[in-house]
Amino acid sequence: MNVLIVDDIVMNRKLLRVVLEAEGHQVVEAADGVEALQVLAREKVDAAISDILMPNMDGFRLCHEIRNSEQFHALPFIVYTATYNSPDDVRLAQNIGADKYLTKPAPAALLLATLEEVVGQSSTRAAAIVPKVDESYVLKQYSQALVNKLEEKNAELQNTYAVMERAHQRILELNDDLERRVNERTVELEAANRELSRALTEVKELSGLLPICSYCKKIRDDQTYWHSIEDYIVHHTKAQFSHSICPECEKRVRAELEVLKAQMGKTP
């Protein structure tokens, strides 16, 4: 048979197409009720499976239009929805002439069995006298269903907004805490860097007990090598030497030179 799938979500139509074509059925598609009526006007369709919540024309209105059509009033019509699932929605679908009401996602076996059932009853519907539907009552039910759905969606949006607001506030708190911790860590790192710099400076300074020879005045390093005081200081500090002579040493040297001159003067 040729089945019309009406749904504004492409993936939903693809899933139904796979199920139906696997059983040998042909499929035509429409994204809303307006497109569905256009398809019916140009193709022979044996049954329709329609979502409810769609743009331009929803599933309730599509079913109502089909049942009021002299040409298509007997078309088997299955409502297949995930959004309109309250008892009032089911009653409205029945009042406007839907043959079956299924809730997404339905098992493939149930879909196929329902399709076979409504198609088998189509001849009975075609031969039956179609009762006059109270338009005002149907419109009242239809309007109430739309209001209920809008209220439900509004409640969902309000709840989502509250969740997002709490999440946003939490993000702000986390950002403030992160900024505070970064600042504290920066201060700690700067203090540690200053301490490290001071420690490196102190490493270059001589401190502690240094082994020094009582006679030659050389200093022993950690590897037991002996160095002159000048070499040791140069290798262990940043200090540089400029050679001179202190006043006391100068006096001593001059005295020694005078003695040496006197001794040389006595020498024949």
Percent of the chain with pLDDT over 70: 84
Asked whether 3 and 27 are in contact (CB, 8 A), the reply is yes
CA dihedral over 119, 123, 126, 128, signed as positive or negative: negative
Across residues 142-156, what is the average pLDDT?
Answer: 69
Same domain, 143 and 236: no
Distance, in Å, from the CA atom of 31 to the CA atom of 201, rounded to the nearest integer, reads 79
The whole domain housing 246 covers 219-266
Q: Which of 45, 52, 28 is nearest to 102 (CA)?
A: 52
Name the range with the highest mean pLDDT among 25-34, 126-135, 170-179: 25-34
CA dihedral over 27, 30, 32, 36, signed as positive or negative: negative
Q: Total structural domains in the chain?
A: 2
User: Which residue, of 123, 151, 179, is where some domain finishes?
Assistant: 151
Do the domain assignments include residue 77?
yes
Spatial neighbors of 29 by CB under 8 A, at least 6 apart, are 4, 5, 6, 7, 13, 17
Is 0.75 surpassed by the pTM of this model? no
Do the domain assignments include residue 234?
yes
CATH number for the domain that contains residue 78: 3.40.50.2300
User: Which residue, of 101, 122, 151, is where some domain finishes?
Assistant: 151
The predicted structure's pLDDT at residue 146: 66
Spatial neighbors of 42 by CB under 8 A, at least 6 apart, are none
Do the domain assignments include residue 164?
no
Across residues 132-159, what is the average pLDDT?
Answer: 68
107 pLDDT band, cuts 50/70/90, is very high
User: Which residue, of 91, 124, 151, is where some domain finishes?
Assistant: 151
Do the domain assignments include residue 191?
no
Across residues 23-31, what is the average pLDDT?
Answer: 94
Q: Which of 57, 54, 121, 107 is nearest to 83 (CA)?
A: 54
Same domain, 10 and 127: yes
Helix intervals (H) in 121-206: 122-127, 135-203
Do the domain assignments include residue 243?
yes
